[in-house]
Amino acid sequence: MQIINKDFYTAKLAKASQKVITNSSVRGQIYDAKGVPLVENQVEQVATFTRSNKMTARQMKEVAGKLLQWVTVTESDVTPRERADYYLADPEVYAEVVKKLPKEQRLDTDGNFLDESLIYNSAVASLTEEQLAYSDEELKVVELFSQMNAAAYFETVNLVTDPLTAEQIAMIAANEADLPGISTASNWKRVVVPTSLASIIGTVTTQQAGLPEEDAKEYLAKGYSFNDRVGTAYLEKQYEEVLQGQREKKEINLDRNGNVESIQTLQEGSKGKNIKLTIDLAFQDGVNAILKRHFDSELATGSARYSEGVYAVVMEPQTGAVLAMAGYSHDKKTNEVKENALGTVTNAFVPGSIVKGATLTAGWENGIIAGNQVLTDQPIQFAGSTPITSWFTAFGNRNISAVEALQYSSNTYMVQLALSILGQPYIPGMILNENDSLGASMEKLRGTFGEYGLGVPTGIDLPLESTGFIPKDYTIANYITNSFGQFDNYTPMQMAQYAATVANGGRRISPHIAEGIYANNAEGNLGELLEPIAGKELNQVNLSADEMDLIQQGFYLVVNGASGFTTGRAIGEGASVSISAKTGTAETFVTTESGQILDAVNTNIVSYAPSANPQIAVAVILPNLTDLESSTSKRITTEIINLYQSLHPMR
């Protein structure tokens, strides 16, 4: 034992006589781009309980009863198991309950006592509803006891009661001799400031809830304790390890009798670091106001009665910084409209013709067209089917270039590209063959769309973003309509990344909401920058500079072209800077309360400005309007860009 197994027993002894406990510190805060707090720590005085290694359940039960004289518990929410634990806290009561258990629930076949945990569970199961029937006042004691009983040895927990008054704090201190383990302390409560960014902040667990079950193993491996408060969603979860303060660590040494011999501080606690966002709340609120005003107007006319809402994302094309992510969701049953910034990364919509720049890219990448190639815009007539046309087909067939296909928003130019990628170039009256090449062709088309961020993760610093709705099952008809944006669904953030990628010349950069990690100043508020956060270049679109220039020309002419077929001239009307854009009008339908089916449109815009030196990229999504000629999304786009120009002049 002393020589061969010395290390084993030394470790055993140390483990038995030492215990390291940790206490979490105040969480860091989240600020907007100008330092306006978006989430704060509200400090309040609470009663605390530190459990010693020698405190019995009966003693905790007595302390809980006495403590209720000096604290207020308005609500109690105890489980049947917690009632049972309270009932069995008295050794005499527990012994009597065990004595009445059937022999097989106490002893094994050899007559030896079963494991104590098995006996205890049997004792719990044997209790009747009458035995566990407590008055409302008694249930408050059970509530306090249960919180105390959940604490590990030497662990300090904050007891959940109503906020303590100065008088209650004084009385707890005055009766400290009768309340072993009880004290008072300052505690922080996480409060999300009610702003238009509230939905992306996320939530933090309480000390009682502690680590989420699904993430507990990972957090424990990083040194967390079971009762640590952690972020459970969005920014709070994304930047958990930054916002989480440095834990205080103490080592407790016990003598051979289990008495505390010494307490040594191994690590001082400190407040967590802070996060500052790229989003200026003033601009964000301005974008929200624009969206709300126009959506309310569409509701007033009845056009938006069956719309899911309205969304907009604004990004810096060169850095990926998100400048605004605004939105409103519309409950089609109640007609209620609510702020929903989170919908920009969770909701997906049919994009319409905004994707045509990506479709042209697929044409160049697959060798279908070269340069600014001319094709004939004509009705695409397959055998036995309704012809596919462009909106201007009624004016007759015409030869158009790739740039004009964007400027005029030609469906049939895109269909011809898709057919050639499929290996079935268009011939009037042709019969489509749904062969093995369909899957490979859709993969090629979607792969190119993904180079712009459509249908793939954008890389944004928020967990659980949607990658859109990209069906695994599809037909050849779906493949063809996907070439002009009538099949796959994308999120507003994906559409904004697409616009930004065109604007910066083909670099897909991950959007980011956090601008940097910051220290705390002397007052515990936003301090100096510790670490900047930047978007990452995820890929380069597989195009030559000349080909990307053609897409940019097309986007410019959508707004600024002189032709009567120019589709987005309204965007430039009243604009304070030159805008480049691509419009998208996806044909949909809605069903009324009476079951009537109405034609509708998703009116989407992707844009950037100024055209010659893009500094912002904007995506606007306004789905399922029954006014098929609505130009509201165009006005929204112009107003957002003008607002940004007024706050941050661009040249």
Say how far apart CA 362 and CA 555 lie, in whole Å.
17
CA distance linking residue 417 with residue 368, whole number of Å: 7
How far lies 314's CA from each of 50, 560, 619, in Å? 50, 21, 7
Phi/psi for 56 (5° steps) reads: -90, 165
Rounded Cα distance between 625 and 303, Å, is 5
What span, in angstroms and rounded, lies between the C-alpha atoms of 19 and 564?
80
Residue 353 annotated among the catalytic residues of the structure: yes
Separation CA 149–CA 335 (nearest Å): 48
Q: Collect all residues with Cβ–Cβ distance below 8 Å to 156 and sequence separation of at least 6.
A: 21, 23, 48, 49, 50
Those residues with Cβ within 8 angstroms of residue 117's Cβ, 6 or more apart along the chain or in another chain: none
Options 307, 329, 353, 401, the catalytic residue: 353
Exposure string of 480-497, with b = 16+ CB inside 10 Å and e = fewer, is: bbbbbbbbbbbbbbbbbb
Query: Which sign, positive or negative, has the C-alpha torsion 465, 469, 538, 612?
Result: negative
Radius of gyration of the chain (CA): 33
Structure tokens at 429: 């009256």
User: Which helix (H) or strand (E) element contains residue 649?
Assistant: none
The residue whose two tokens read 């209720």 is 68
- Rounded Cα distance between 251 and 371, Å, is 72
Task: Name the pairing type of β-strands 398-400 and 248-254.
Answer: unpaired
Q: Which helix (H) or strand (E) holds 196?
A: none
Q: Contact, 328 vs 295, CB < 8 A?
A: yes
The number of angstroms, rounded, from the C-alpha of 571 to the middle of its chain's C-alpha atoms is 31
Catalytic residues: 353
